[in-house]
């Protein structure tokens, strides 16, 4: 069912290739520096020094700091694609697929919260990076719309608004939800994830999702 989004575009000066240790060192250095002090305070000199390369080596790969963080964002995007895979898994019930997609997406956010903030911060001043970030979200529209249309054609979802428009709005809502998560408020994260799951499920299937099983309910079923 459906298909994976196309691989993201990067803004390297040259096409990246596997095994490029200097490029990998620059990305690892930026990742560490963002973890330690946030994106705004990091300079190209900091990145180059941490990676053990010259500033000219940095510019060999990236035009500026925003392009470097864009490359890190591309790796995070690949994990988001993995979350979307749940949506296209035919074996699970539709409502379970949505629940698993949202849960995995939130888990990706938890692992990369500092990087997510950095990409958003950089995109406010970099039109190219903002375009990239929006492009990542838009790359999911066609696969999600295809899933909605297939569910309707199979009789598992009722007729409704245009599938592509619905997919775009649901994805934009998901993006805005992730922007507003707060690592210091785990209960709030769970509430937002549950609400997002309900909105997706009701919008596509016109029904509320079944409650996620709790440890106690799992024990009762095994008994």
How confident is the model over 1-22, as pLDDT tens digits?
A: 556 555 555 556 566 666 689 9
Q: Domain residues of the chain, as ranges?
A: 69-211
- Judged by average pLDDT, the poorest of 14-28, 93-107, 136-150 is 14-28
Can you tell me the distance from the alpha carbon of 48 to that of 43, in angstroms, rounded to the nearest whole number? 9
Name the helix (H) or strand (E) containing 123. Answer: helix 113-123
Cα end-to-end span (Å), the chain = 36
Q: What is the CATH number of domain 69-211?
A: 1.10.357.10
Q: 143: burial class by Cβ within 10 Å (0-12, 13-18, 19+)?
A: buried
Bridge partners of residue 208, in order along the sequence: none
pTM above 0.85, yes or no: no
């Amino acid at each position: 069912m459906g298909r994976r989004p196309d691989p993201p575009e990067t803004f390297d000066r040259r096409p990246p290739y596997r095994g490029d240790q200097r490029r990998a060192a620059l990305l690892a250095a930026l990742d560490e520096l963002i973890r330690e002090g946030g994106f705004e305070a990091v300079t190209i000199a900091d990145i180059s020094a941490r990676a053990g390369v010259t500033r000219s080596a940095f510019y060999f790969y990236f035009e500026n700091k925003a392009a470097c963080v864009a490359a890190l964002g591309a790796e995070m995007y690949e994990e988001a694609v993995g979350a979307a895979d749940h949506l296209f898994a035919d074996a699970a019930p539709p409502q379970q697929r949505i629940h698993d997609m949202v849960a995995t997406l939130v888990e990706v956010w938890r692992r990369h919260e500092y990087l997510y903030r950095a990409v958003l911060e950089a995109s406010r001043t970099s039109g190219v990076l903002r375009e990239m970030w929006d492009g990542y979200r838009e790359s999911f529209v066609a696969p999600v719309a295809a899933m909605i249309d297939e569910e309707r054609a199979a009789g598992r979802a009722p007729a409704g608004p245009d599938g592509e428009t619905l997919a775009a709005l649901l994805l934009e809502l998901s993006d805005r939800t992730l922007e507003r998560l707060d690592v210091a408020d785990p209960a709030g994260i769970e509430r937002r994830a549950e609400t997002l799951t309900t909105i997706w499920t009701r919008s596509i299937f016109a029904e509320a999702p079944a409650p996620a099983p709790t440890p106690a309910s799992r024990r009762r079923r095994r008994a």
